[in-house]
Structure formats: structure tokens, C-alpha cells
Amino acid sequence: MMDTNELIAALSTDSIRPPAPGRALTLALIPGVVIAICLFLGVLGLRPHFLSLLSEPRFLFKLLLLDLLAALSGYLVLRLFRPSAPPRGAVLALAIPPVLLAFAIGAELIVVPAAQWGVRLIGSNSMVCLRSIPFLGLAPLAAILFALRNGAPERPALAGAAAGLFAGAIGAALYATHCPDDSPLFVAVWYPIGIAFMTALGAALGARLLRW
Amino acid sequence: MYDGARVRLDEREKEWAVLMRAGNAGDSAAYRRLLAQLTAALRAFAGRGLARAGASGADAEDIVQETLLALHLKRQTWDENGPLSPWLYAIARHKLIDALRRRGRRIEVSIDDFAEILPGADEGKGSVAADVSRHLGELPPGQRNVVNCIAVDGASIDEAAARLSMSNGAVRVALHRGLASLAAKFRSYE
């Protein structure tokens, strides 16, 4: 009934072209991030004196670190849209934020007396932090996975994990503008838990949703 | 001799990229010519892959068709500045592995239960064509009619629209959706 030549006739007649990776990701992220920002403003809100706090090195470092993580994981997601685009460089680049954080922890341990380390590490807001990153990251995760369905990831679970990491980083970057705990010790202990949860969730969803 | 083969490969690579870019820019004749050329390469690839896995070559055409559908539906993921064949073979490999995995599972779960009703030896290429037709038969009627009209009867978008009393836009959308559902049927067929 339908042989390969007939299939080719049908394929070459189909002129509808799905959006290119960058476009698909941007178009999906706009509503995803707008929802996350609305939830953020409705439930959490910016920290008081946000602008004047930007001169505070710990606060500024925290924001830049999470923005960098979001950018690098976003780049990885974009690579994973395409089959035959080796993601190795993009994966290696993800080591940059943890290395920067390690230096910041070193500096913190030198500057802050040992008696204060525990207090800084526990912070005042850790449970809110644990809940907020997934809460703010869910809409971006849905958006990124939706966009990735236009892609052809060779390893769907890996692409899903990258999507979860990206969404977790977006959630964390938003949450960081609310969170009063700025010490690198706090950031190193609590933020990764929420981000890792999102990464695992993304991997599980990706394995199911990103097959093609 | 070796250099000659290499020059031919380079030329083929260049031609494929040119045809694909033309296709992306809306030249459907160029795209059709490209798909015909890729089909020959994919047939060789699927045949080799099945042989290496110790599987029968009867499914080769099935894998070729599934790969053609995938590369068409994912053509936006090809980087226009790069060569086509690494991208093409990444998709072909993905589909081959998928087919082998599926086929393994299919045999594992079904061989004993269905021994009496397993098809006879005269099924070879025929069973493959039956698979595709079956997938086509499972599409919603709107999509199936459009795909049939264009693929089997060779109608253009305009002709299909006139014959099925649909608008051109509706035919375009039904064709695209039909091809996407066809790919999904292939994928879910365990």
C-alpha cells in the first residue's frame, strides 16, 4: 500500500517546519519563566533593600553564581537538542560554578571565625530554600521539556536531566533574590539539594517524554 | 583509488548539504531528490547494522522508513553550517538501536505464545509493507485520507485539497500531523 517512494513523496510535500532549537527553547521559556516570576512575586518577593544589597559581595556572588549555572546548563540543553553535537564541552563547563563556589567557601572560612561557621551553614531559611527551588523551577521545567520535544536528543534521560538542571538553576537564581542567607556555606549545602531534585525529576520525565 | 573514493564522498557530502539547505528554504524538488539519495545510504546502513547484530534483513526497509520519518520531523535540528552525514547517521543509529531493542523484546515475549500463528516463510518484504500500512490504517481518518491521497495517489497539496474539499492550510496541517502520528505509531509498536 505505501512503499518508501510514496513515503518520500509525502515527506517532500510536507512544508511545515518545526521551530529551530534556539527558537523553540526561547518561545517555550518566555511563558515558563513569566509564570515562575509571578509565583515568586506572589509568594516570596524580592528581599528588602535589594538594590543596595548588590554592593554586598556575598549576595552579589550568590546571584552571579546561580545566573552562571543557569546560562551554562541552558547552553547544554541547547546542545542536546541536536543529535551528533557532542555535549562534552558543555558538560565540562558545568564544573566552573562548583569550582568558583569552592574558592568562595575557602575565602569564607578564612574571613569568618570558626565559631560562626555552623551558624552560617545552617542559616535561617533552609526549609524555605528546599521547597522554593522546585516550586519556582516546575514551570520552567515543563517549558524546557516541551521545547525539547522538538529536538532529537540521542539520550533522552540525559537531555531530561539537563532540562531539570537548567530549570533548577532558574528556580534557584530567582529564589536567591529572596533568600536572606548569603554565605557560600549556606549556598553550598542547601541550594544543591533543590537543584539535584529538579535534575533527577527532569531525568525521569525526560526518559519518558523525550523519546523520538 | 582511495583518493578518488574520498573525493566522491566529499562531493556527495557537499551535494547533500546544498540540497538540504535548498529544501529548508522551500525547494521541495531538491528535498525530494535528497531523500531519494539518503534512502540508498540508509538502506546500506540498516542492512549492515542488522547483519552485524545477527538479525534478519527483513526489517531493513522498515527501519529505513522510520529513519526517513524521523529525519524529516527533526530536520530543524541539523546545523546548516555543518556536514549532513554525521547528523544523518546519528539519527539512523538511534533508529536502528531502537528497532533492535524493540525486536528483541518482541521476540522474547511472544515467540512461545504465538508460535502457531507466526507468519510463514513467504512473508519477507511483505510483512514490512504490512506494518507500514497497518500504521497508516490506525491514523485518524482525516490524517489518513490526506496522507494516502498525497503519498499513494501522488496528489499535490492543491489537488488533495480539491479532492477532499478541504482548505489548503487544513491539508498541510493534516499531512504534517499524519506524518508525526505515523512516526509515533512506529515508535510505540512493541
Average pLDDT of every residue of chain B: 84
Query: Which residue type occupies B187?
Result: R
Span B77-93, pLDDT tens digits:
999 999 999 999 999 99
Query: pLDDT by residue (tens digit) across B23-68?
Result: 999 999 999 999 999 999 999 999 999 998 888 887 889 899 999 9
Give the pLDDT confidence score for residue B108 in this predicted structure. Answer: 44
Rounded CA-CA distance A111/A48 in Å is 25
pLDDT at B131: 63
From CA A200, how far away is CA A157, in angstroms rounded?
Answer: 9
Region B134-150: mean pLDDT is 90
Whose grid coordinates read 542536546? Answer: A80
Q: Is residue A23 part of a domain?
A: yes
Flag whether A170 is in a domain: yes
3-state SS assignment for residue B111: coil
3-class secondary-structure state, position B177:
helix
Contact A82 B79 (CB under 8 A): yes
Among A41, A35, A70, A34, CA closest to A177:
A41
Q: Which of B43, B76, B172, B177 should one mutate to test binding to chain A, selecting the residue with the greatest count of A CBs within 10 A? A: B76
> Higher pLDDT residue, B149 or B110?
B149
Number of domains in chain A: 1
pLDDT exceeds cutoff 50 at B171: yes
- The DSSP symbol for A181 reads -
More confident residue, B6 or B31: B31
Q: Chain A neighbours among B 167-186 (CB < 8 Å)?
A: 172-173, 175-176, 178-179, 183
Q: Measured between CA atoms, how close is A207 to chain B, in angstroms?
A: 14
Q: Is B133 on the interface with A (CB under 8 A)?
A: yes
A86 pLDDT more than 90: no
Domain chopping of chain B, boundaries = 1-118, 123-190
B35 touches chain A (CB under 8 A): yes
**Strand ranges (DSSP E) for chain A?**
none
Q: What one-letter code names the amino acid at A80?
A: L
B133:A2 CB<8 A: yes
**pLDDT band (50, 70, 90) for residue B4:** confident
Interface check A82 vs B, CB under 8 A: yes
Cα B116 off chain centre by: 31
Mean pLDDT across A117-140: 94
Q: What is the dihedral of CA B152, B155, B157, B159, to 10 degrees?
A: -140
Q: Which residue on chain A is closest to B150 by alpha carbon? A: A10
Instruction: Return the DSSP state at B97.
Output: H
pLDDT, residue B118, reads 43
Residue-wise pLDDT for A179-191, tens only, equals: 999 999 999 999 9
Of A22-26, B107-111, B169-173, the poorest mean pLDDT is in B107-111
> Does the CB of B46 have a partner CB in chain A at under 8 Å?
no
Q: How far apart (Å, rounded) are the C-alpha atoms in residues B94 and B98? A: 6
Of B90, B186, B73, nearest to B138 by C-alpha is: B186
Give the C-alpha distances (Å, rounded to integers) separating B44 from B50, B91, B183. 10, 15, 21
Q: Is A150 helix (H, G, I), strand (E, B) or coil?
A: coil
Phi, psi values for residue B84, rounded to 5°: -85, -35
The per-residue pLDDT for range A3-18, each reduced to its tens digit, is 899 999 999 999 999 9
Given a cut of 90, is residue B176 above it in pLDDT?
A: yes
- Tell me what pLDDT residue B125 has: 43
- Best mutation target, A3, A6, A14, to test chain B (most B CBs within 10 A): A14
Name the residue with higher pLDDT: A199 or A125.
A199
What letter does residue A48 receive in the DSSP assignment? T
Range of the domain at A150: 19-45+57-209
Torsion sign over Cα A109, A112, A114, A118? negative
The CA R_g of chain A, rounded to the nearest whole Å, is 20
SS3 annotation, B4-38: HHHHHHHHHHHHHHHHHHHHHCCCHHHHHHHHHHH
Question: CA-CA distance, B146 to B144, in Å (whole number)?
Answer: 5
Helices (H), A112-183: 114-122, 126-148, 156-176
Q: Tell me, yes or no, whether A13 lies in a domain.
A: no
Query: Three cell numbers at B184?
Result: 509515533
Specify the higher pLDDT residue, B107 or A203: A203
Mean pLDDT is lowest, of A142-146, B73-77, B153-157, for B153-157
Tell me the nearest-neighbour CA distance from A158 into chain B, angstroms. Answer: 15
Q: Is the pLDDT of residue B114 over 70?
A: no
Residue A96 lies in a domain: yes
CA distances from B16 to B22, B71, B179 (A): 10, 13, 23
Work out the average pLDDT over B160-184: 95
Please judge whether B73 and A4 are an interchain contact, meaning their C-beta atoms are less than 8 angstroms apart: no
DSSP-assigned states of every residue in B49-118: HHHHTT--GGGHHHHHHHHHHHHHHTGGGS-TTS-SHHHHHHHHHHHHHHHHHHHHHHHHHHTTTTGGGS
Evaluate whether the domain defined by B123-190 bears CATH number 1.10.4080.10: no
**C-alpha torsion A178→A180→A185→A187, nearest 10:** -10
Contact present, A133 and A169 (Cβ < 8 Å): no
**pLDDT score recorded for residue B120:** 42
**Fold of the CATH domain B1-118:** Rna Polymerase Sigma Factor; Chain: A (1.10.1740)
The residue-averaged pLDDT of B135-143 equals 89
Measured in angstroms, the CA of A84 and the nearest CA of chain B are apart by 5
Segment (H or E) for B136:
helix B125-137
Nearest to A170 by CA among A54, A44, A56, A34: A34
Confidence of residue A84 (pLDDT cuts 50, 70, 90): confident
In a domain, A6, yes or no: no
Q: Is residue A9 part of a domain?
A: no
